[in-house]
């Protein structure tokens, strides 16, 4: 199972990249102007022993983030290398934050699943339409920013990240109710896997089935593009989203958390 976990984790580094990335003895040091811990953290998936001690390697990482004037963050899983890293970071005054569930779903039966869902939702879906843009557009990010009530810099940061791996197929999906945008999300394919990011439903349209409908369309798009599985990340306390993903057939495969240095 660890092989699958690591494969998904490596895929997520590709589908949600960093603006700057540096490899250090198997660790990936990622920096992106401070937007999201995911793209501003050390990903210690592998570890190659060298003359540099583990403490020296941690100190080197800390120096990179201090130089960039960013918090020092490590993204941790149960399969980090070396396995004692979490214990060492705890001893160096790193605090656990944002435990997150990584969930996976097969796309094998997605067409039938959507047909079954649609047959029970005919009236609700009568005025629902959607668009998928495969190229980045300022109009889409403005729409997402409005739905998510994002500060201006968030949309600008996402725009930069989406340009890092231009060869990966991407879907910027928007769902409409009677012509009004009500939900949006991003899907990014890396080989057999699609990562789903920034699932947003407007505040006035939540718990009405719009996110579920949108994600069905996004998963159907991914299957048509050749993907076999899709994964996403959800915070451990986001009960509404966890319930939605359970209904869609997602299952947790592992968890990650962040170790954030509490500066003295």
Mean pLDDT of the chain: 93
Architecture of domain 108-227: 3-Layer(aba) Sandwich (3.40)
Residue boundaries of the structural domains of the chain: 2-102, 108-227
State pLDDT tens for residues 64-75: 999 999 999 999
Q: Is 19 exposed, middle or buried (0-12, 13-18, 19+ CB in 10 A)?
A: middle
The pairing of strands 229-235 and 193-201 is parallel
Inter-residue contact 177 to 188 (CB < 8 Å): no
State pLDDT tens for residues 85-101: 999 999 999 999 999 99
Q: How far apart are the first and last CA of the chain?
A: 39
- Label residue 151 by pLDDT band (50, 70, 90): confident
Q: What is the pLDDT at residue 1?
A: 55
Q: For residues 133-137, give the mean pLDDT.
A: 92
For the chain, count helices (H), then strands (E): 8, 11
Give the integer Cα–Cα distance in Å for 232 and 68.
29
Q: What is the pLDDT at residue 159?
A: 86
């Amino acid at each position: 199972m660890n092989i699958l976990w690591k494969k998904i984790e490596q895929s997520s580094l590709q589908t949600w990249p960093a603006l700057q990335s540096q490899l250090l003895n198997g660790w990936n040091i990622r920096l992106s102007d401070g937007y999201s811990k995911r793209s501003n953290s050390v990903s210690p998936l592998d570890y190659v022993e060298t003359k540099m001690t583990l403490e020296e390697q941690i100190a080197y990482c800390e120096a990179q983030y201090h130089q960039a004037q960013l918090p020092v963050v490590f993204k941790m899983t149960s399969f980090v290398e070396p396995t004692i890293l979490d214990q060492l970071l705890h001893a160096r005054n790193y605090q656990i934050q944002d435990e997150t569930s990584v969930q996976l779903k097969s796309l094998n039966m997605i067409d039938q699943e959507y047909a079954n869902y649609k047959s029970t939702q005919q009236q609700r879906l009568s005025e629902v339409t959607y668009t998928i843009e495969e190229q980045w557009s300022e109009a889409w990010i403005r729409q997402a920013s409005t739905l998510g009530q994002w500060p201006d810099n968030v949309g600008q940061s996402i725009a930069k990240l989406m340009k890092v791996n231009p060869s990966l197929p991407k879907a910027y999906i928007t769902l409409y109710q009677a012509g009004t945008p009500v939900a949006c999300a991003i899907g990014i394919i890396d080989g057999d896997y699609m990562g789903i990011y920034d699932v947003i439903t407007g505040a006035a349209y939540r718990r009405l089935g719009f996110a579920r409908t949108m994600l069905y369309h996004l998963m159907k798009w991914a299957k048509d593009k050749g993907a076999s599985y899709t994964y996403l990340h959800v915070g451990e306390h986001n009960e509404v989203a966890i319930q939605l993903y359970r209904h869609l057939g997602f299952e947790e495969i592992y968890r990650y958390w962040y170790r954030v240095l509490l500066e003295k």
